[in-house]
Structure 1
Amino acid sequence: MNLDFSRVMPSLPYILEGIYITLQVVVLAALLGFSLGIILSLFKISTIKPLNWLADFYTSIFRGTPLVLQLMLIYFGSPQVFGIQIEPFTAAFLSFGLNSAAYISEIIRAGIMAVDKGQKEAAIALGVPYRKMMTDIILPQAMKNILPALMNEMITLTKESAVVTIIGLNDIMRRAYIVGGQSYRFFEPIMIAGLIYYILVMILTIAGKLVERRMRRSD
């Protein structure tokens, strides 16, 4: 094997700078996905049929097409559709957030449906308004049940964020590719990028377990 990491190690700080960009995309996408996911999940359990259809249609579109296609449509299609060029960073977190919302909505919907029906019946009997019942009673209990699934979605977002390299965003993977082109050695910088992603995922995994353990103790 013809491996020589010493030739790419001077570029390690440059690759590491991509962590900030990657985390920005992931955090903003997660916030957008979670916020929109809650709204979609409430639409799905609503008694108003048009809201059910709208949420199901949204989910089918974003779950039924590749994420990279959605990213390319938003970035490369924006000048043709909207007459403006959306910035790579904006296109990245928008596409990831909108895509994640479809999955998170299903996770939250399943969590809400798993809450004991007696909780809802008791709230209705006490005259608790629907909005207050959902925010103060149902959703907090649902969140405890779906935390592992939400953490898995966060991990998936972190790993899949590497596809933003196709629109030129200087994330971890893009910087590793640039270093490979400059040094004519692609294996080493890509391996370094892989190690960085692995460490980020392990940190998220450990953080998720700690939060889950703490929530269990608070029961």
Structure 2
Amino acid sequence: MTEESPGRSRRSVLAAGATAATVGLAGCAGLAGDLSFESGSATVTAQARSEAGYQEAGVTAIPFSRQVSLGPIRRTVEVTNLLAEYDRSVGLDSGGLTDGLGIPTDARAAVFAAFTTPAVDIFGRTLNPVANLSTDELANLIQQHYGGFRNLATDAELSGTLLGQSTGVTRYTAEADLLTTAVVSTDVPIYLYVGTPVRAGEDFVLTVAAHPRAAGPREGTMRTLLEGVEHAAGSA
């Protein structure tokens, strides 16, 4: 979890695992010519953002390129994923919730992200492995690729609706670093929410969210944001 840090933005924790999952696209190696895939977008509606008290923090294209080989044959696979990020102030200034944590009372420490990645359908096969990853596997990938949080443990299995489909969401506990322009806080207890990927047209959409545990469980807020995600297909 980060805040206003150009070197280590929020997308480090929210997208690292999902982007890393696309390494399985090496299965495309037997095809002729280089391959390029670009995802559509998954964003949260203005109404859902307003109800949850979140604001848009940015929509970012995340390119991924890998050269794969099968014997003497080499191919380049290029995938462009899209990450939409949202955040809000968690209002931890009452009741001594931030005592000893060093968290600014106005820190936008609650984050939600919708990550879109191409399914990569070729000859009737879906080659993007994200569809087969469990929430535990996705959470572990995030932890492995981002050094800013640790001590991940499953807390609860939740359910919600994403793009009209019922989906599972696993809530984890962890400790994270919160970085701002004014302060660096370490070992901040957080909840991390990782959603099961959902197929949307030519893409898979998955969601990740996090907020300090001091704010209490926010299942209703997470479901509001989840249900507010809408998908737009990419260009052909």
User: TM-score, structure 1 length as denominator?
Assistant: 0.29
Name the structure with the higher strand share: 2
* Greater radius of gyration (CA): 1
User: TM-score, structure 2 length as denominator?
Assistant: 0.28
